[in-house]
């Protein structure tokens, strides 16, 4: 039977072999890309239940709530799913920097043609 995830009105995430979907996180007010993370079924459920963004840490193999140690949580405004339901877009209101480095976004460096990285002034720490 053909997969109907692209035409259904039912949320049915397509998890990868590790049980994860990619989550793209943007600021709901500024549209700035804040971070990319992964979510499992529990992270999705907790996020929907609490209104705070939860993710699955592949390196620690554990569930975590963004801001649980830093206080810089991500309040969910809207969750969207892509056409084949294997990626999520979380539109959030951040309570501080989204990156563990203290920067607004995890995407604060540009890759140059020579392979070097340029730090972007519009996303400085602090």
The pLDDT > 90 percentage for the chain reads 88
Q: 3-21 burial string, b = 16+ CB within 10 Å, else e?
A: eebeeeeeeebebeeeebb
Judged by DSSP in three states, 52 sits in strand
What pTM was computed for the model?
Answer: 0.90
Res 105 pLDDT > 70: yes
Could you list the beta-strand ranges (E) of the chain.
Answer: 21-27, 33-39, 54-57, 62-65, 74-81, 87-94, 109-111, 117-119
Q: Domains of the chain by range and CATH?
A: 21-123 (3.10.20.810)
Pinpoint the alpha helices (H) of 9-50: 41-50
Query: What was the pLDDT predicted at 121?
Result: 84
- Give yes or no for a contact between 63 and 38, defined as CB atoms under 8 angstroms apart: no
Q: 48 phi and psi, to 5 degrees?
A: -65, -35
Query: What was the pLDDT predicted at 12?
Result: 95
pLDDT tens digits for 11-59?
999 999 999 999 999 999 999 999 999 999 999 999 999 999 999 999 9
pLDDT band at 124 (very low <50, low <70, confident <90, very high): low
The pLDDT > 70 percentage for the chain reads 95
Q: Please give the Cα distance from 44 to 49 (Å, whole number).
A: 9
């Amino acid at each position: 039977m053909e997969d109907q995830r692209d035409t259904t009105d039912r949320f049915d995430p397509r998890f990868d072999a590790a049980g994860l979907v990619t989550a793209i996180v943007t600021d709901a007010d500024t549209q700035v890309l804040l971070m990319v993370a992964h979510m499992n079924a529990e992270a999705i459920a907790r996020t929907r239940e609490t209104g705070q963004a939860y993710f699955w840490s592949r390196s620690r193999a554990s569930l975590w709530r963004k801001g649980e140690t830093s206080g810089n949580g991500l309040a969910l405004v809207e969750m969207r799913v892509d056409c084949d339901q294997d990626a999520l877009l979380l539109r959030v209101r951040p309570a501080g920097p989204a990156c563990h480095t203290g920067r607004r976004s995890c995407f604060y460096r540009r890759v140059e043609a020579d392979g070097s990285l340029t730090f972007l002034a519009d996303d400085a720490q602090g």
